[in-house]
A and B are shown apart, each in its own frame.
Chain A
Amino acid sequence: MNARTDIRYFDGKISTAHKASIRPIDGQGLPDGFIVTWQDKAGTEHEKRYFVKDCDYLPAVANAPHAIMLGDGARVEFIGEVPAWLTLANQRLFGRIAIMERRWAWIGASVIIMCVFVFGVLKLGIPMASHHIAQQLPADTLVKLGDQAESYVMELTQPSQLPQARQDEIIALYEKLDGDPKATVIVRGGGDIGANALAIPNNTIIITDELIKLSDDDNEILAVLAHEQGHLVHRHSLEQAISSIGVGVLIVVITGDTSDLLLALPTLLATAQYSQDAELEADQFAIDELKRLGISPAHLASFFEKMKKEHGEGQGHWSMLSTHPKTDERIKQVEQQ
């Protein structure tokens, strides 16, 4: 069965392809090599032997042909399929991959698998993984970053105008909460950030005069402190940081190209959604704490109402992009308890 197959052959000396043919050499009954035969321009016949083990096989991709790179710098390009007698490394595997790339059934299945995978990773995989990783990491992972954030917030705010006695009352409120990690509560004049409360990952809670004045009842302030404590307990800053890394990796995998910063936009969308979940989770922590202390969770809801009345929804159609869920959604969560 000395079938000859026509090929294109580059001899490794000049860069024009020769019209050539290839035929097997039988070792012990099995073809372990082949002979390439070609004519040069002068019409002289040439022949060269190669062993299959010295071949570097490049499987075909669409129009790019099957090719073999040889040890002496020569190259064989097949015009159609690789002849049946020639067995190259991983040839069957790449044959199957080529079939997958041609058949619509496989393409359709692949699209579905990808959609399920991406959706699953975004909705379940990344949140779960970042939650677990965040819980496993040492407690002080973000302390340095937190210290920076704290000094930044201190610059934005002024010293509190409230009498020291009132400040101490607020700090004493926090003592009622189940504090693990234990936070330092600081009262500040709102300045640029207005009525606000922040949980900083170095275990600091900052609450502003304006927010304290907005409340009618210390239980409302307690509810706010409990909400912020919820962020610390659940290590939301850490989770958020890990999530955005995860989304970034996913984008790199899909596009196979990281050089375009613009494609990071979806990261923004995805992390905003995680952050909404984090707010609701912090609310839930506050609700549970208030219940434990025998205080009605309604105080949390009434404070939300107050903010809404004071400033309006303020987010409207930005809600998908926004880092905070709609107030009504949050009130509903309280009422369901």
Chain B
Amino acid sequence: MTDTVFDQHPPHPPTTSPFANESSHTPPTPPPLPPSTHRFAFLGNGMDYFKIWIVNLVLTIITIGFYSPWAKVRRLRYFYGNTQINQRSFDFTANPKRILIGRLIAITLYLIISVTSNLSVEIALIGSALLFLAVPWLIRSSMRFMARNSQYNNVRFGFNGKLGTLYLLFIAMAILGTLSFGLLMPLFWRAFKRYQFDNTYFGQLKFNFGASVGDFYKATLLPMMLFIFMVAALFGIGFSGYMDTTADMDNPAIDTVFLVMIGVFYLGMLLIIPLAKGLLHKAIWSKMSLGNNRFKLVNFSVLKFALINLTNYIAIILSLGLLYPWAAVRLHRYKTETLSLVAVDDFETLTTPSTDNISPVAEEISDVFDIDVSW
């Protein structure tokens, strides 16, 4: 039921442009206009989102969770609706009832598997194997769902990644990723993000994921080295801790060593994860394009991005969650306001929204199976 580790989350609408001709067919085209740069903007603020968030929470609790799909749609409509380019907003148009059905199915399956797996080991194994096998399918369904329900100027996004490709990717990742002790993970991570973006459309315009394997290794090198350094340091602490200790029945000294290790681990991750996120964000978005139009990061600083993430974590933990809305808005604003689109296509002659490259029938059929698993 989780968003998993794949950073495809909601409060960041697939950023795109409306300024485009058909990009797929070749000349003769009218003489290209000089490119114009359009900045993304975010108009929301922490206080407004706090109000929506707290009402969402209370209503979700009062309705024992049944309101949560409506809460999700309101949250995303708030973020999308306040994200603008060229003075026009994005919109999230999902029907909450569909999300509710998806969640009810998922919870029912989970309950059935967890209850029956108490009966026998075989069922438990089969159940978890089935769940594991379903993960790529669920991720793809979610991507389709999120894309289909995102729009700008009444032009829908779309996602048409092949399920087989994702399964191959996952199998390769599970086998080669483990055999290589994680050294190949940046490769797979890039393949996954490329799968995600290269199969995403805005109207008829296709996203192009430009970041190379080299870019991904460059982005992950520093965080990975820091991580290895931290793990080595932790082993050091743990080892010397064990040596110094003659534990008694309640083992307080061992507990303390253990707690110090956990503390150091958390502190380390608090620094490493934001840094990795910032570096990857930069790698991905500075080489992204949509049709002939290029995305560009403006005044984007990896350090500032990491600092915002870090202070967000601290604020959320110290405020016991109450500053979550403020933190979410702050991060989203930074992501939005450092992004721009260099458009060569004309703003006035736009894509036609009705000609989705998926036929209406296929759309209807796949719609039944598209459920939303992200929370």
Contacts and interface: CB of A to CB of B under 8 A. Distances in A.
A117 B250 CA distance: 34
B52 A61 contact: yes
Given A58-B91, A107-B55, A253-B60, A259 B3 contact: yes
B77 A61 contact: yes
Contacts of B55: 97, 100-101, 106-107, 110
Contact of A315 (B155, B252, B348, B354): B252
Given A192-B242, A259-B7, A266-B320, A141 B118 contact: yes
B321 interface: yes
B247 A252 contact: no
Contacts of B253: 311, 314
A63 B324 contact: no
A43 interface: no
B300 interface: no
Contacts of A315: 252, 255-256
B345 to A, nearest CB: 12
A45 interface: no
B155 A196 contact: no
Interface string A235-262: 0000000000000000111111111111
A229 B313 CA distance: 41
B249 A256 contact: no
A145 interface: no
B154 A12 contact: yes
A19 interface: no
A195 B245 CA distance: 11
Interface stretch (A80-88, A170-178, A321-329): A321-329
Contacts of A265: 266, 317
A303 B249 CA distance: 10
Nearest to A272: B259
A285 interface: no
Contact of A107 (B51, B270, B352): B51
B350 A16 contact: yes
Interface in B1-44: 2-5, 7, 9, 18, 43-44
Given A196-B248, A307-B248, A254 B57 contact: yes
B82 interface: yes
Contacts of B242: 192
A156 to B, nearest CB: 10
Contact of A253 (B57, B77, B82): B57
Interface stretch (B67-75, B207-215, B222-230): B67-75
Interface residues of B, number: 76
A162 B93 CA distance: 73
B216 interface: no
A79 interface: no
Contacts of B68: 253
B359 interface: no
A318 interface: yes
A258 B354 contact: no
A114 B352 contact: no
Interface string A95-118: 001001110001100110110011
B375 A62 contact: no
Contact of B354 (A12, A61, A106, A254): A12
Contacts of B153: 10, 15-17
Given A15-B155, A62-B48, A62-B81, A256 B71 contact: yes
A194 B246 contact: yes
A73 B353 contact: yes
B154 A262 contact: no
B3 A64 contact: no
Interface of A: 10, 12-17, 56, 58, 61-65, 67, 69, 73-75, 97, 100-102, 106-107, 110-111, 113-114, 117-118, 137-138, 141, 190, 192-197, 210-211, 214, 224, 251-263, 265-266, 268, 279, 303, 307, 310-311, 313-315, 318, 321-324, 327
Interface of B: 2-5, 7, 9, 18, 43-44, 48, 50-61, 65, 68, 71-72, 74-75, 77-78, 80-82, 89, 91, 93, 95, 118, 153-155, 203, 242, 245-256, 259, 262, 266, 269-270, 273, 313, 316-317, 320-322, 324, 328, 348, 350-354, 375
Given A64-B81, A257-B375, A311-B248, 12 more contacts: A13-B354, A61-B77, A118-B321, A192-B242, A195-B247, A253-B61, A265-B266, A311-B246, A311-B252, A315-B252, A315-B256, A324-B252
10 contacts: A12-B353, A13-B352, A61-B81, A67-B91, A117-B61, A192-B247, A194-B246, A255-B316, A256-B75, A313-B252
